[in-house]
């Protein structure tokens, strides 16, 4: 699920994490990553009939009670490219703008829009810099699990609060920070091995060989954020969290023991 700023400096990639992750997510499209495959015609038709759902985390659908009526609502899909959530919300009646760091991900939304006759505005950009949008530009901001691709999440929340209309809603999906404690190779092999001290970042926690493997494969660089940053960080900028759910994706070893993802619903309060 995907997205340059002063905190991006990294000697392994010439100092530009956002630029590297842009290329990495473009490559994910070529590889058919599940978050890059556009929804089919049947789901768009169902959304037009009022039968729709989206996800912010791998499997659990967002409760419909989280959404206001979408007719003519201004919705920002933040780091939301891939031809999935934005297309469904547009078919359900919203005026949707998608901002994403990956040109290829935005092409997926454009392709669905052409195929289905949907109006979706696509904008190439970093989720931490929404300066192209005026204050109070949107009624709803939807952010599928993607803040793990940026080092500093507080700037994301600050920008979300700025572009949201008063009493607007923000829906975000997040990785449980505990997910990052465990060795990734071990998880892939079906075992949980405690390895990392949080907060985690690929570039500071992995060996040179492991980093080289990520860069050679052009996989996105990942960063963890604490629960305080993810939850209190929203509240500090005027976003009041009013609901919450957890997700335990099938097939993940961590899910046998704990939820590995969660989502929050917040409303913008007057400050």
44-72 tens-digit pLDDT: 999 999 999 999 999 999 999 999 999 99
3-class DSSP assignment, residue 50? coil
* Region label for 221, one of left (φ > 0), alpha (ψ between -120 and 50) or beta (otherwise): beta
d(CA 258, CA 251): 13
- pLDDT value for 11: 36
Cα distances (Å, whole numbers) of residue 230 to 38, 61, 84, 224: 28, 20, 24, 10
Cα distances (Å, whole numbers) of residue 120 to 70, 82, 137, 175, 190: 14, 12, 15, 27, 40
Q: Is the predicted pLDDT of residue 197 greater than 90, yes or no?
A: yes
pTM (predicted TM-score): 0.92
d(CA 148, CA 108): 22
Domain segments of the chain as ranges = 6-268
d(CA 70, CA 207): 47
Residue corresponding to tokens 């505990």: 178
3-class DSSP assignment, residue 8? helix
Query: Mean pLDDT across the chain, nearest whole number?
Result: 93
Q: Which helix (H) or strand (E) holds 178?
A: none
- pLDDT value for 16: 85
Q: How confident is the model at residue 271 (pLDDT cuts 50, 70, 90)?
A: low
The torsion angles phi and psi of 207, rounded to 5 degrees, stand at -70, 165
Q: Is the predicted pLDDT of residue 136 greater than 50, yes or no?
A: yes
3-class DSSP assignment, residue 125? coil
Q: Which helix (H) or strand (E) holds 175?
A: strand 164-175
Cα distances (Å, whole numbers) of residue 249 to 62, 95, 104, 166, 195: 14, 30, 26, 34, 22
Q: Is the predicted pLDDT of residue 2 greater than 60, yes or no?
A: no
- pLDDT value for 269: 87
- pLDDT value for 194: 97
Q: In what order do the strands lie in the sheet with 138-143?
A: 120-124, 95-100, 74-78, 138-143, 164-175, 261-268, 239-247
248-263 tens-digit pLDDT: 999 899 999 999 999 9
Mean pLDDT confidence for 36-47: 98
CATH number of 6-268: 3.40.50.150
The length of the chain in residues reads 271
Closest to 260 (Cα-Cα) out of 179, 144, 182, 181: 179
The torsion angles phi and psi of 117, rounded to 5 degrees, stand at 70, 40
């Amino acid at each position: 699920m995907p997205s340059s700023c002063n905190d991006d400096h990294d000697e392994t990639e010439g100092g530009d994490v956002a630029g590297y992750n842009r290329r990495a997510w473009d490559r994910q499209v070529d590889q058919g990553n599940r978050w890059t495959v556009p929804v089919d015609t049947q789901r768009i038709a169902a959304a037009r009939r009022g039968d729709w759902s989206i996800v912010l985390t791998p499997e659990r659908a967002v409760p419909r009670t989280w959404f206001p009526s979408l007719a003519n609502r201004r919705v920002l899909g933040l780091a939301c490219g891939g031809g999935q959530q934005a297309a469904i919300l547009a078919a359900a009646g919203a005026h949707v703008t998608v901002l994403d760091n990956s040109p290829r991900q935005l092409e997926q939304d454009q392709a669905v829009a052409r195929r289905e006759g949907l109006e979706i505005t696509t904008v190439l950009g970093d989720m931490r810099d929404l300066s192209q949008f005026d204050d109070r530009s949107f009624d709803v901001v939807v952010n599928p699990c993607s803040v793990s691709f940026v080092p500093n999440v507080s700037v994301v929340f600050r920008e979300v609060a700025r572009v949201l209309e008063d009493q607007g809603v923000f829906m975000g999906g997040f990785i449980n920070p505990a997910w990052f404690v465990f060795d990734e190779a071990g998880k892939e092999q079906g075992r949980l091995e405690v390895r990392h001290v949080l907060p985690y970042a690929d570039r500071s926690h992995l060996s040179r060989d492991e980093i080289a493997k990520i860069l050679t494969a052009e996989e996105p660089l990942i960063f963890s954020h604490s629960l305080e940053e993810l939850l209190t960080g929203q509240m500090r900028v005027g976003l009041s969290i009013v609901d919450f759910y957890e997700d335990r994706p099938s097939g993940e070893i961590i899910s046998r023991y704990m939820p590995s993802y969660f989502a929050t619903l917040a409303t913008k309060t007057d400050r």
